[in-house]
Amino acid sequence: MRAFVFPGQGSQKVGMGAELADASTAARETFEEVDDALSQNLSMIMREGPEGELTLTENAQPAIMANAIATLRVLQRDFGVSLVDHGNFVAGHSLGEYTALCAVGSFSLSDTARLLKLRGQAMQAAVPVGEGAMCALLGADLEKAQKLAEAAAEGQVCEVANDNDPTQVVLSGHAGAIERAIGLVKDFGIKRGVPLPVSAPFHCSLMQPAADAMAEALAETPPGGLDLPLYANVTAAPVDDPAEEQRLLVEQVTGRVRWRESVLAMREAGVEHFVELGGKVLGPMIGRIDRDAATSSIITMEDLETLAKELTS
């Protein structure tokens, strides 16, 4: 069995998608469709920068999605490989869940781009710049991370945002609480706490205004039927009901990304091969979660050609 997975924020970089666009009409048309949907030349920012503009949450989220969907469409149109024929499940890390829904026909590409633009804007607006922060805990499991978060909170918000793999957990909350958490890591047997260069404290209760904004947006543009089941971030369980997924997407804004548990659940369901489209972030994470899982991270035309041969041989 196989799962196609889609990366989240942090996987953006200037030049992303340029090789695909130069080599494939399918990729070019994908980027043009996103530009049209947003009334913005996002593809130019992706190709040429500046990096500061690409890193803005409202640009990074639709850009990462566009790059992954372009990769998928090249696989489908140029190499004749259908996601439905060769996959059993999909999943995405944070914003990647929207990409996954687009990949299985639950959202149109234009709607996905608009929803992610709004999501990025709403997340940025939820907390004034400087009031929130995030940090990655290296050498931490979930139990250690939760105990550290409780100790560092001191009446402020300090919560587990991402349970990425057995060696990396991310905390999110008030800047002061995150600073305290970094200072306390050794007391909890954690190797290191690293501040993350983010503009807002994602996936914690401070994001409630953004969750409210997404509830409104998703009421107007609800997900449709899914061609394949999706493993949702906040439940680490498969979903194929659009109404349930709509609710979970709202919950996801403030909820924990249960990536480690999602991968283990997919393995338990029989997934042997994970294909990451449009990034090289989730593949290594999956390898740390389960060394026996086969992973492919697909970015270039050469990667796509190799994958297509593997899937069709």
Catalytic residues: 94, 203
Find where tokens 């970015």 sit.
Answer: 299
- Rounded Cα–Cα distance for residues 65 and 44 (Å): 15
**SS3 for 161?**
strand
Q: Which of 173, 171, 148 is nearest to 161 (CA)?
A: 171
| CA gyration radius, the chain | 19
Q: Which two tokens stand for residue 257?
A: 């990304």
C-beta separation of 180 from 135 below 8 A: no
For residue 240, what is the DSSP state?
A: -
- Rounded Cα–Cα distance for residues 312 and 36 (Å): 34
C-beta separation of 78 from 307 below 8 A: no
Give the CA diameter of the chain. 58
